[in-house]
Structure 1
Amino acid sequence: MPYEVRAAVAAEKGAPVEVRTIVVPDPGPGEVVVAVQACGVCHTDLHYREGVIGDGFPYLLGHEAAGTIDAVGDGVTDLKPGDYVVLAWRAPCGSCRSCRRGRPWYCFDSRTAGRPMTLTDGTPLANALGIGAFAERTLVAAGQAVKIDPAARPEAAGLIGCGVMAGYGAAVHTGGVGRGDSVAVIGCGGVGDAAIAGACLNGAMKVIAVDVDDKKLDRAERFGATHTVNSRGTDPVEAVLALTDGHGVDVAIDAVGRPETFRQAFYMRDHAGLLVQVGVPAPEARVELPLLDVFSRGGAIKSSWYGDCLPSRDFPFLIDQYLYGLLDLNAFVSETIALDQVEAAFAKMRRGEVLRSVVVL
């Protein structure tokens, strides 16, 4: 029978999030229902609430989630009730042109549930990033539910479903950071701190954190930053060059997504260095660069989609790193909150007071 559960819903653009009763259908073929245990409050959820990403209101928010399988649909053979999972917003289809070329992390037809969850009056809900996990239960495609070690704390484990994976992957997968490399990360929020942690885990020798907030820079050191630069009163390009004997870094990661931070990352690279863009820009953002500089400095500019990850491969690995004490996922959890505190968590996010608020259900 369908489930009636509590959920955090953005009913219309800019309106405060409301806790409503929603209807979650039984899983169809290739689908599962997940009993959500914890879900992080990500900046992407705020983008949905404010209409920055789309206008498909009402939205069921939440996507950085961990929980247990409650029910499975026909044809689901690799998951069963009780399995402990983290939800992914990329579930490669296996048959699109990217998957067929052996690049499933770029899948062009990622799987999601085929039927919507609804309000009690039948109004369909659009799920944030195809998940919608600010809810006691949610319906997803089976491929979106990745089994992990049940020893992992759900408040921490769920965060690899988006922000941690995006940042870690930006450094390790997109950036290819390796032993002895120098790295600069602009923006020390959840994604930036995860990029710092990933760079350190992969052997970077020098990791420079750049932000305008000293509190965030102090926190970046906890994730492994060897140097910090407050760019509010200092030219960050000059500071990074000074820290690298005038050469610049091998990999510069823009985890902010503003034209000025993109330009900073471009110019703080060494010759033939790599710029990785992982911060999500506003639709109207534009960048101008001298084309001669683009040519003469060499290297590459790459955007990083979800850290170029393969969830079935990367989620269990990151959880193992956490359980081995090598990746401090607990440090990303600023506070745990109830479902009716999501709106307050958005306000704290805007003020820069939290790394991640996590809803516990």
Structure 2
Amino acid sequence: MQQVKGVVARAKGAPVTLETIVIPDPGPGEAVVRIQACGVCHTDLHYREGGINDDFPFLLGHEAAGIVESVGAGVTSVAPGDFVILNWRAVCGDCRACRRGEPQYCFATFNATQRMTLADGTELTPALGIGAFAEKTLVAAGQCTKVDPDARPAAVGLLGCGIMAGIGAAINTGGVTRGKSVAVIGCGGVGCAAIAGSALAGAGTIIAVDIDDTKLARAAALGATHAVNSADLDPVEAIRELTGGFGADVVIDAVGIPQTWKQAFYARDLAGTVVLVGVPRPDMTVPDIPLLDVFGRGGSLKSSWYGDCLPSRDFPMLVDLYRQGRLDLDAFVSEEIGIGDIEEAFEKMHRGEVLRSVVVL
């Protein structure tokens, strides 16, 4: 085992602290990864605020890339020295989804068996089974996806969560293809990634919706063809007006509150698709919509969990597109920070000043 520094949330709402973390030697099926970069995601703040569960203390961080340092018995998918992106969908290969050939929906994803601890032996709960605001972390080997080692860690590590969620919501869940019209409600990191994914897929009209002009400008830089400030305009009417009066083929709700989901429902064309990728709070409910409207409009109402991605398939492909200059992952890196700057990064994220702050180790 070894000791490293990591960022821990000890109690609900308390400021995070930099602690000594004990990393066990990897057991069967496990790997120790030396972290090079890790994005500051809103999910980390949810953990700190007790919005995920109350299994404190948490070792935060999960949007990460790094180098495999050591592996346990039976690991053949990665080896020491490999450059990897970490993921929270290590597929089992044996659940009902995997057996029917849909591992992107794996219902039994897994993490490392051993637990990392504080120096006094207190067991840590790693965020999304990763815990990458640390110099090194212990994960299941299946959480490591080998990619092009020449890629910039601060950029491609973001595929580990939010950027993959947004791109996947458009392409994998929403089925965006050439010429389709898309509207994205909420232009934070995930929403902007959905816009970038829609542009990558060849969508025609791409409408960005937000209440912040700065975020709308970022969306335009990543491929949005139109911007709607919903503080000034009814977004449903605006989306319909920009799509010939019909509504968009695909509407992606990257906010995840009842109001925006209802807007997405009515802003889509007949037989169109709604994709919910923003994460609702536990107390939220589906808005009151007449069942006849659900029937009469047809189409699909979908939720997108991790962009319905399969890391082994999607991460290398998207990194290759990034290396070819066709997917601008660098645009999502608003700033590079140190491991001691995470509380300030949470504040910047809350104020909407950044797409992603990235901890570089």
Coarse TM-score class (shorter-chain normalised) = over 0.9
Q: Which amino acid aligns with 1:344?
A: E
Deviations 1:77-98 (A, max 9, x none): 2211110000000010000111
CA offsets, 1:126-160, max 9 Å, x none? 01001000000000000000000011100001000
Q: In the alignment, which residue of structure 2 is the partner of 1:259?
A: 258
Give the AA of the match of 2:55: G
Aligned residue type for 1:229: V
Letter in 2 for 1:158: G
Matched, 1:113 2:112: yes
Q: Which residue type is aligned with residue 122 of structure 2?
A: T
Structure-2 residue corresponding to 1:344 = 344
Residue identity in the other structure for 1:9: V
Partner of 2:80: helix, strand, or coil? coil
**DSSP-derived class of the 1:339 partner:** coil
Encode CA deviations 1:290-321: one digit per residue, 9 max, x unaligned: 11111111111000010000000000000001
* Partner in structure 2 of residue 298 of structure 1: 298
Query: Any gaps of 5 or more consecutive residues in structure 1?
Result: none
1:239 and 1:305 map into 2 onto residues whose CA distance is 28
Distance 1:147 1:61 in 2: 22
* 1:360 maps onto 2:360 in alignment: yes
- Code of the aligned partner of 1:186: I
| SS of equivalent to 1:200 | helix
Which residue in the other structure is 1:189 paired with?
A: 188
Q: Tell me how far apart the structure 1 counterparts of residues 75 and 271 of structure 2 sit (CA, whole Å).
A: 47
In 2, Cα distance between equivalents of 1:171 and 1:326 = 16
Structure 2: 5+ residue runs without aligned partners? none
Aligned residue number for residue 206 of structure 2: 207
Separation in structure 2 between the aligned mates of residue 296 and residue 313 of structure 1, nearest angstrom: 36
TM-score normalised by L of structure 1: 0.99
Partner of 1:238: 237
Are 1:315 and 2:315 an aligned pair?
yes
Equivalents in 2 of 1:176, 1:240: separation in Å?
A: 19
Report the Cα distance in structure 2 between the residues aligned to 1:261 and 1:14, rounded to whole angstroms.
27
Structure 1, 287-296 or 202-211: larger mean CA deviation? 287-296
Q: Which residue of structure 2 aligns with residue 270 of structure 1?
A: 269
**Deviation of the 1:282 alpha carbon:** 0.7
Give 1:25 deviation, angstroms.
0.3
Question: Residue 101 of structure 1 aligns with which residue?
Answer: 100
After superposition, the C-alpha distances for 1:89-138 in whole angstroms (9 at most, x for unaligned) are 00100001111111111111112100110000000000100100000000
| Whole-Å separation in 1 of the counterparts to 2:338 and 2:51 | 25
Establish whether residue 139 from structure 1 lines up as the match of residue 138 from structure 2: yes
Q: How does 1:68-79 map to 2 (within 5 A)?
A: 68-79=67-78
How far 1:52 sits from its partner (Å)? Answer: 0.5
Q: CA deviation at 1:182?
A: 0.2
> C-alpha separation between the residues in 2 aligned to 1:337 and 1:301?
39
Q: 1: CA distance between counterparts of 2:205 and 2:345?
A: 33
For residues 77 and 110 of structure 1, what CA distance do their matches in structure 2 show? 18
Identity %: 67
Instruction: Give the number of aligned pairs.
Output: 360
**Structure 2 residue 154 is matched with structure 1 residue 160:** no
Secondary structure, aligned partner of 2:120: coil
* Residue of structure 2 equivalent to 1:25: 24
**TM-score normalised over the length of structure 2:** 0.99
Tell me the SS of whatever aligns to 2:198: helix
Pair 1:39-2:50 in alignment: no
- The residue that corresponds to 2:334 in the other structure is 334
Q: Which residue number in structure 2 is paired with residue 224 of structure 1?
A: 223
**Partner secondary structure for residue 341 of structure 2:** helix
**Per the alignment, in what secondary structure is the counterpart of residue 20 of structure 2?**
strand
2:278 maps to 1:284: no
Q: Does 1:129 align with 2:116?
A: no
Letter in 2 for 1:269: R
- For 1:189 and 1:331, the matched residues in 2 are separated by 12
2:92 corresponds to 1:88: no
Measured in 2, the distance between the counterparts of 1:236 and 1:269 equals 11
SS at match of 2:340: helix
Q: CA RMSD in A?
A: 0.6
Amino acid at match of 1:22: I
CA distance in 2, matches of 1:95, 1:245: 47
> Which ranges of 4 or more aligned residues in structure 1 deviate by more than 2 Å?
none
Equivalent residue of 2:163, what SS?
Answer: helix
Amino acid at match of 1:358: V
Q: What code does the residue aligned with 2:295 have?
A: F
- Hey, what's the Cα distance between the residues in 2 that align with 1:101 and 1:204? 30
Q: Distance in 2 between matches of 1:288 and 1:338?
A: 45
CA distance in 1, matches of 2:55, 2:300: 36
